[in-house]
Amino acid sequence: MKSLLIAFVSVILGSDIVQAHPGHDDQEPLEYVNFPFQPAYRGPSGEVTADAIFSGITTFAKLPWVQCLGKERHVPFDIAFIGAPFDTGTSYRPGARFGPAGIREGSRRLTLYGGYNVPLNVNPFKSGLEIVDCGDIPVTPYDNKWAIHQIEEGHKSLLHRKAFSPLGNDSVTGERLSPITLDGVNHPRVITLGGDHTIVLPLLRSIHSIYGPISVIHFDSHLDTWKPSIFGGAPSPQASINHGTYFYWASQEGLINNGTSIASIFRHGAIRTTLSGPEDYEQDDLSGFKRVEAREIDTIGTDGIIKRIRETVGDGPVYLSIDIDSIDPAFAPATGTPETGGWSTRELRTILRGLDGLHIVSADIVEVAPAYDTNAELTTMAAADVLFEVLSVMAKTPLGKVAKPPKN
């Protein structure tokens, strides 16, 4: 029965090919839609089949895999996905080292019908940008100090390259755009798949080397600006850098632009954790952050939160860090330190789309620990879909500015 069906289908497809393109064996039938990144297979009898979304080797959104840190380091790109499988800075549930693999698994359907983002009116996969999956940065699980060094080096190696596409001209004024980097070179963007949140310290060190002190948008249910003496850091210099203190260190090192960074928390951005006391907010202020609390969504809504974020960061370069625990554990249970009372996946996606037009120079999603997920892969799907919004916003806004005309 099965072989009969295949024979029947191949007769139909085969005859279509012959009729549509007589003598052009290299062409695909007109009815065949080439979805992005799904290689087509032409069988011995001539029929063409797209690779199914559930088959093949899993990269983010089935993007092409480029060995950016290895033998293909000269292949240029505009946006790179890279994993940082590090979770030895975690205070509660470990397991985010499997985050990159899990998020890729959860992203398989992103390009099923091509990847067009309806509300943002863009298909990032067909925007002309070269977008690739670089695999993972090799990270040791035995030595945090060395691992943090490896993550910084790996990120820098990608970020310091020249972007594949030219910046082009401003869509409003038509004038030529120039890079917003310190060195005047148009560098690519990197989207990092964590890993626990500690990885943001080495990522911001890398960002600093290209952009200087940067505004940060931080979605999290926790502040992560805790002093090491409060958050587990007392035993040793190694212990003082962990997933609750990395923003404290980033601020101390001058990596964050004080006053123009915002944390949407359940303690930052989507902030909602319990605190050691009100002084935790004082330390957060000192680290340069303004806050929107998760519960404020009930009063000011997603529009109000978007407005607060945009007012705070302005239109300069901004780094975006998303802890999956900003989403409620009902929607994203597989995370290191879950907090109830969070946003829905829909709410976070709406807020991210509201960042349209901001100059997001790079981004990450962290604390996805797939071992605690449901069989339905809720958390890894949520992480992948959240990144789809980030990618769409990036694809719409080139990292350039129009040079101010000289005054006569």
Ligand X SMILES: *[C@@H]1O[C@H](CO)[C@@H](O)[C@H](O)[C@H]1NC(C)=O
Q: How far is the CB of 240 from ligand X (least distance, A)?
A: 16
* DSSP SS3 for 169: strand
* DSSP SS3 for 275: coil
Query: Is residue 176 a contact residue for ligand X (CB under 6 A)?
Result: yes
User: Which is closer to ligand X, CB of 213 or CB of 317?
Assistant: 213
Q: How far is the CB of 254 from ligand X (least distance, A)?
A: 4
Select from 166, 254, 304, 314 the one that contacts ligand X (CB under 6 A).
254
Query: Is residue 403 a contact residue for ligand X (CB under 6 A)?
Result: no
Query: Is residue 171 a contact residue for ligand X (CB under 6 A)?
Result: no
User: Which is closer to ligand X, CB of 202 or CB of 213?
Assistant: 213
Query: Is residue 175 a contact residue for ligand X (CB under 6 A)?
Result: yes
- Identify the CA nearest to 223 among candidates 296, 144, 321: 321
* Spatial contact of 155 and 203, defined as CB atoms under 8 Å apart: yes
How far, in Å, CA of 47 to CA of 45, rounded?
6
Select from 111, 245, 251, 302 the one that contacts ligand X (CB under 6 A).
251
Select from 10, 49, 286, 401 the one that contacts ligand X (CB under 6 A).
286
Q: How far is the CB of 270 from ligand X (least distance, A)?
A: 23
Q: Which residues pair with 290 in a beta bridge?
A: 262
Q: Where are the beta strands (DSSP E) in 203-323?
A: 215-219, 261-266, 269-271, 289-293, 317-323
Stretch that binds ligand X, among 61-69, 73-81, 172-180, 335-343 (CB under 6 A): 172-180
Query: Is residue 257 a contact residue for ligand X (CB under 6 A)?
Result: yes
Query: Is residue 72 a contact residue for ligand X (CB under 6 A)?
Result: no
Taken in order 310, 313, 319, 325, is the CA torsion positive or negative? Answer: negative
Q: How far is the CB of 251 from ligand X (least distance, A)?
A: 5
Q: How many residues bind ligand X (CB under 6 A)?
A: 12
The alpha carbon torsion through 193, 243, 156, 313 (nearest 10 deg) reads: 90
Q: Any long-range contacts for 297-304 (C-beta under 8 Å, 24+ apart)?
A: 297/343, 297/347, 302/347, 302/350, 302/351, 302/354, 303/354
Residue 42: HSE in the Cβ half-sphere, 13 Å Cα cutoff: 10
Query: Is residue 213 a contact residue for ligand X (CB under 6 A)?
Result: yes
User: Which is closer to ligand X, CB of 254 or CB of 304?
Assistant: 254
Q: Which of residues 99-118 bind ligand X (CB under 6 A)?
A: none
Select from 154, 288, 329, 400 the one that contacts ligand X (CB under 6 A).
288
User: Which is closer to ligand X, CB of 72 or CB of 175?
Assistant: 175
Select from 23, 44, 128, 174 the one that contacts ligand X (CB under 6 A).
174
Query: Is residue 169 a contact residue for ligand X (CB under 6 A)?
Result: yes
Q: Which amino acid is at 193?
A: L
User: Which is closer to ligand X, CB of 183 or CB of 253?
Assistant: 253
Q: How far is the CB of 176 from ligand X (least distance, A)?
A: 4
Question: For the chain, how are helix, strand and coil distributed in percent, rounded to 5?
Answer: 35, 20, 50
Q: How far is the CB of 398 from ligand X (least distance, A)?
A: 12
Q: Which residues pair with 191 in a beta bridge?
A: 81, 363
Query: Is residue 405 a contact residue for ligand X (CB under 6 A)?
Result: no
Q: Which amino acid is at 392?
A: S
- For 116, list phi and psi in degrees, rounded to 5: -80, 130
Q: How far is the CB of 206 from ligand X (least distance, A)?
A: 16
User: Which is closer to ligand X, CB of 112 or CB of 167?
Assistant: 167
* Spatial contact of 52 and 120, defined as CB atoms under 8 Å apart: no
Task: Tell how strand 289-293 and strand 261-266 pair up.
Answer: parallel
User: Which is closer to ligand X, CB of 251 or CB of 345?
Assistant: 251
How far, in Å, CA of 42 to CA of 29, rounded?
11
Query: Is residue 362 a contact residue for ligand X (CB under 6 A)?
Result: no
Query: Is residue 302 a contact residue for ligand X (CB under 6 A)?
Result: no
Residues within the interface to ligand X (CB under 6 A): 169, 174-176, 213, 251-252, 254, 257-258, 286, 288
